[in-house]
Structure 1
Amino acid sequence: MVGLAKFEPLGVQQLISPTYGVPLRDLLRLEGMQGTTVLAGHGGLDRMVLGINVMEVPDIADWVKPHDLLVTTGFPLASGEDHRRRTVALTRLIRDLHARELTGLGVKLGRYVDSVDPEVLALADELDFPLLGLPMALAFDDLLRQAYGRIHELTAGVLERIDALHRALTLLVLEGGDLDQIAAEVARVLDLGVLITSTDGRLRASALPEQLRTRLEQADLLEPGGRFRVERASTRPAPVGDGEVRLQPIVAGGTDLARLVCFSPHRPLSRDDVVAMERAATVAALLVTRQEAVAAVENKYRGDFLRDVFLGRAGDRTYVTEHAASLGWDLASPMYVVSAELDPMAADEPPVSGRVRRSWQERFATAWRQVCEGRRPVIPTVDFTAEVVALVPDGDPGPDGSTPVDQLVAAVQGDRGGGRRPFSVGVSRLVTSPDQLPEAYLQARRATEVGRRVSGGGGTTRFDSLGVHRLIALVPDPAEARAFAVDVLGELAGDTEEAADLRSTLQTLLDHNLNVAEAARQLFFHYNTMRYRVNKLERLLGPFTSDPHLRLDIAVALQVLQLRG
């Protein structure tokens, strides 16, 4: 007993890493614990024991660590105390130990403490804090030796399993394995369902049986399109029935690369599982880094070729078609050129660094590439630094009437979870020959620009639907277009609040074919108020209600201001 005091500089007798431990229920089966009775707190017997500490002073709560099993002869509880004061002190001690996440308290009964008051037992039951009655014959040095022997035995087995997993994963990477093989190995060793996703939850590899996938869909953690909702498990485990889902970031060189998602359907993941996930994420980072380096080179090669096609300098039609076929692309079938760009940051958003903006673009391009590569035939997709361009084959509408382009955009958008940014999309006219690709690319870019100006971003605009905006966008000198609007609208083209209000009234009136009553209802004006405004507008602009040519000029001028600003 005297020897125990020599361990006090360590704070507690905790001689192993706090990562591993033994359930208290198993520790009670040790030979040295024979004769121990559970006085209260039976609901906490599955708590983990990471170390043993011996109580020698009443204020021990300041010297314990989480997941200790605290044992005592009872002397610090009995010295100089009457029964009532001892009960109060023991109640306070149990509350303090529970708050510090201790596993339990064992007290030798019979010498210094004969029994434990029912008030104390009730508190231990309420907190599910195990309170043990230790036999008088128990020697603490035997308990320490046997408990740490059992913990070290478990630790050795766990470390061996984790090291074996690490070696197997490293070998897979060295032999050219892919993420699916890594996911399968982690799932086999840990007996878990495993996903490897992009940072915003898009699936990159999977070892997830169909029944587990269904469970995740029912828990609303998997979108219908297959994206894992990383935002719902990013900071803490997500409970699913009796089990849970944990997410481990895959990081290398300070760059956030991907996510390792593990799902246990029947139990919470143990500390050992978490450590194994960390090891697996480290190895996966090597493979993801390699894959992204290869993808960057391939994207540059493909992007350079497609850029040459758009500039009309890639060669004749036969060469372009054959070279595209060598890349797995079919440029002979009818298709649309799609240009997608992230929308500018909102005025109320805090500024971010160029590195963060580039990470947004990389994630955006990856999302498009993953969605497009999942289609048959594979859709050509390249990242042009500030935009993503895809050549989408024409096809039949879906059951809901959506076109192939609509389906791609919806798949990339998902539910906008995982930190995804809003974006605008422009779609060209139908392309029936590679020779038409340069003009189609310009159409898609123009549709993106005009659509963002008209709708404010976040939408899909087709070149064929631009109408008069298409002509306005073709005016090479913005100042000339602005001058036309000022000539037609006069002072209504100003930047004042009154001018903007009158322009809104004018546009609503034109939208309702000069029906004053309908326009008044739309703007919640009294009919006479609307008549007054119409008269004022005619004084400023001329008799537009009776002159169709003037009305046309006014309508175009309003669209110029909307588009050009």
Structure 2
Amino acid sequence: MVHFTMLGRGYRVLDMVRVADNEQYDRQDLPSTGARPALGDAISMSEVLRVPSLLGAEVLAGSSGMGRSVLLVNVMEVPDILPWVRPQEMLLTTGYPLPQEEAGLVGLIHDLADRELAGIAIKSGRYLDSVPHAVRQAADQRGFPVIELPATAAFDRIINDVVARILNRRADVLKRAEHVLGELVSGVVTGGDLTQICRGLLSRIGDAALVTTADGRVLAECGAGRFAEELDVLRELDCFDRSGRFLVEAEPTHISRHGGDGMHWLSVGVHGGTRDIGRLVLFGRQPMGAEDAHLAEQAAAAAALVITKQQAVQAVESKYQADFLHDILRGRAGTRRDILSHAQSLGWDLDRPLLVVVAEANHGAGPGEDEIPGEEVRSLQERFATAWTNTVRRHDPQAAVVWSSDEVIAVFGIDPQARQDEALALVEGFARAVRGLGGGGRRTFSTGISRTLDDVLRLPEAYEEARKAVEVGRRMDGNQSVRHFDSLGVFRLLSLIPDTQELYAFAVETLGVLATDDKPEYADLRRTLAVLLEHNLNVAETARALHFHYNSLRYRISKLERMLGPFTRDAQRRFAITLALHALQLTDR
């Protein structure tokens, strides 16, 4: 039985007609005509004309829009129907409430098309002899179907037939989705992984599928057909950044998108309870709609089971591994033989030249970061640790990577002949990959690198070197520093002074007003002084480095000596000034 309800001065079929009016599937990319294609639970206008009660109906105009989808049926019985209409709705009318003037009828067609209705079916004869030519032209222009109903057509039968067709479509979609979910969950229970889930989804829709972390790093992927061996071509689509990370922050869910090479993609969220733990992304050469999204959601539910299980196992393993590495760093892990044997059982190779890297998230670096809820902080920490683990182990599968709170410690093999700049370049590459070119909402972090060590018993010393490089690097370079311990120079000694106020007092005592920013010229003079000292007082080289005229620089040097004393002739004074400039860098001023 079909019920109606009065809305203003129009009638609308109740919610049983709107079975598929679901917000998450209502946000589809629209073709250039503005028409929504028939997707998921909807049926197209062409399918509507095949219901028994519409046999004999004729398409008068707008035939290019017969692919428009129908989710709702509304009976137009008053002229001002516009406040009551909704997208993907088909209107039925006797013609009585239609505007009598041709211009008004043309305007109504444009208004209905603007509101993304599916079409209008008119019972002509009694109130409208025929549809004017100008109206047909407008409908053809907009791809908005205008249907002429036979005189015997009954609105209640039409509504019943359309509702039945929509409900049947809905039942079919649910049945297929339930079957897909059952198969995928069964596969997970029997030990299936994320790649198998992608493969199971591709047996029904799409050409490629992948599962990512919450910030877009690919965990698993699978392709069919030509994509079985050419998945890398997907990384050229504009939904990925140069590091191969899926741009979750720019890609909305449940919306079919398209890019180069005629490829379309659709992403759905993977949720573990209330937590966002990833994305499942489906790629295909055909546009994807609500039914595809519904099937992808079932695969995402199965993926959530796998990821949640993996995270639970990893949490236990990570704690065990972190405890062992921290025992090594405290000198409590036993002999060299004990350490190497235990490390080997964890899949680590520590019997070779090693490098220690410490990466530490910066506190309070982002806007409002201190107000982030505890659960979200935990999620950010896990993403940070996972990103470092995946990045380092792609380079060295036998590396040790552990994390605790906001700190990640990575111990991996290195060529014993590697220079400082080579080690720095390698770790800078890791840091870029972890940042994912800055996307995904991650926090900033600072990174420190130890010297190369050739004995596992020197790990505590190397860890302290990396920690010192993090601490000093952050104070010298800001919140995204990557520093090698050997690059710290005199800063290593200065950093041993815990009281930065003491450092600043020394800088003021030595540099006077130049240690302040009371005047804009002071910072400029400090830079001139620093470059001059770096070039060992060579005026010509300093002038070239600063792009100054030689005489202009001579004038500045004279001014600096009036403020600081004869530092060009006094080596002790020059050393104190150099030290003060370095100390000033380590203060918060």
Whether TM-score is above 0.5 comes out as yes
User: 1:231 corresponds to which residue?
Assistant: 249
Q: Which residue of 2 aligns with 1:55?
A: 76
- Alignment pair present for 1:46 and 2:67: yes
Q: Distance in 1 between matches of 2:370 and 2:406?
A: 18
Secondary structure of residue in 1 paired with 2:141: helix
How far does residue 263 in structure 1 lie from its aligned partner after superposition? 2.0
Q: 1:128 to 1:215 in 2, by over 3 A?
A: farther
Contact 1:369-1:381 at 8 Å conserved across structures: yes
Q: Which shows bigger deviation, 466-475 or 316-325?
A: 466-475
Q: Which moved more, 1:172-181 or 1:120-129?
A: 172-181
What displacement does 1:102 show?
A: 1.6
**What secondary structure, in the 3-state scheme, does the structure 2 residue paired with 1:226 have?**
coil
Structure 1 residue 178 corresponds to structure 2 residue 193: yes
Offset at 1:520?
5.1
Distance 1:481 1:140, change over 3 A: closer
Matched, 1:150 2:165: yes
Paired amino acid for 1:213: L
Q: Give the partner amino acid of 2:220.
A: A
Work out whether residues 14 and 51 of structure 1, in 8 Å CA contact, stay in contact via their aligned partners in 2: no
Whether the aligned pair in 1 keeps the contact of 2:398 and 2:412 (CA below 8 Å) is no
* Contact kept? 2:355, 2:412, Cα under 8 Å: yes
> What is aligned with 1:196?
211
Answer whether contact 2:20 2:170 (CA < 8 A) is retained: no
Separation in structure 1 between the aligned mates of residue 384 and residue 338 of structure 2, nearest angstrom: 31
Q: Does 1:464 align with 2:482?
A: no
Offset of residue 368 of structure 1: 0.7
CA contact (8 A) 1:232 1:238 kept: no
How many residues align? The count is: 554
Choose from 224, 228, 235 the match for 1:217. 235
Partner secondary structure for residue 230 of structure 1: coil
Equivalent of 1:548, from 558, 567, 571?
Answer: 571
Question: Relative to structure 1, is the Cα distance of residues 477 and 62 closer, same or farther in structure 2, using a 3 angstrom cutoff?
Answer: closer
CA spacing shift, 1:145–1:237, aligned 2, 3 Å: closer
Structure-2 residue corresponding to 1:309 = 328
Read off the aligned partner of 1:553 and give its amino acid letter: A
Q: Which moved more, 1:225-234 or 1:9-18?
A: 9-18
Partners of 1:233 and 1:245 within 8 A in 2 = no
Encode CA deviations 1:426-446: one digit per residue, 9 max, x unaligned. Answer: 110111111110000000111
* 2:210–2:281 contact (8 Å) kept in structure 1: yes
Change (3 A) 1:40 1:540: same
Cα shift at 1:197: 0.5
Q: Using the alignment, how far apart are the partners of 1:229 and 1:482 within structure 2?
A: 44
Equivalent residue, structure 2, for 1:15: 16
Distance in 2 (alpha carbons) for counterparts of 1:245 and 1:479 = 56
- Cα pair distance change 1:549/1:511, threshold 3 Å: same
Residues 104-131 of structure 1 deviation map (CA, whole Å, 9 limit, x = unaligned): 0011233332211122122212221111
User: 1:505 — aligned with what?
Assistant: 528
CA gap 1:359/1:473 in 2 versus in 1, 3 angstroms:
same
Aligned to 1:115: 130
Match of 1:420 among 421, 442, 446: 442
Q: Does 1:289 align with 2:311?
A: no
Q: Aligned partners of 1:257, 1:123: CA distance in 2, in Å?
A: 48
2:273 maps to what in 1?
Answer: 253
Aligned counterpart, 2:362: 343
User: After superposition, what is the alpha-carbon deviation per residue over 1:315-361, rounded to whole angstroms, capped at 9, x for unaligned?
Assistant: 11111111111110000011100011223445876753253444333
Q: What letter corresponds to residue 349 of structure 2 in structure 1?
A: D
Instruction: Write the distance in 2 (CA, Å) between the matches of 1:489 and 1:275.
Output: 68
Is residue 343–residue 424 contact of structure 1 (8 Å, CA) maintained in 2?
Answer: yes
- Give the residue type in structure 2 aligned to 1:206: E
Query: Of the candidates 347, 371, 392, which is equivalent to residue 372 of structure 1?
Result: 392
Residues 225-257 of structure 1, C-alpha deviations (whole Å, 9 max, x = no match): 432222331365432355532222222333221
Give the equivalent residue in structure 2 for 1:322. 341
Distance in 2 between residues matched to 1:106 and 1:278, nearest whole Å = 35
Q: 5+ residue gaps in structure 1?
A: none
- Which residue, out of 48, 55, 61, partners 1:34? 55
Describe the shift of the 1:490–1:74 C-alpha distance in structure 2 as closer, same or farther (beyond 3 A).
closer
Query: Which sits farther off after the overlay, 541-550 or 385-394?
Result: 541-550
User: 1:500 Cα deviation (Å)?
Assistant: 4.4
Determine helix, strand or coil for the equivalent of 1:66: coil
Q: Counterparts of 2:561 and 2:175 in 1: how far apart (Å)?
A: 87
Give a deviation string over 1:116-169, Cα, whole Å, max 9, x none: 112212221222111112222334344334333332332221111011122223
Structure 2 residue corresponding to 1:433, chosen from 455, 458, 466: 455
Pair 1:448 & 2:470 matched: yes
Per-residue CA deviation, residues 20-73 of structure 1 (Å, 9 max, x unaligned), is: 121112222334433322222122111111233333333333333332221223
Distance apart, 1:170 and its partner CA: 2.7
1:287 partner SS? helix
Cα deviation for residue 174 of structure 1 reads: 3.1
**Matches for 1:125-140 after TM superposition, within 5 Å:** 125-140=140-155
The one-letter amino acid paired with 1:207 is C
RMSD: 3.1
Q: Which amino acid aligns with 1:340?
A: A
Which secondary structure state, in structure 2, belongs to the residue aligned with residue 313 of structure 1? coil
Q: Distance in 1 between matches of 2:192 and 2:269?
A: 20
SS in 1 for 2:536: coil
SS at structure 2 position matched to 1:232 = coil
Q: Which residue type is aligned with residue 25 of structure 1?
A: S
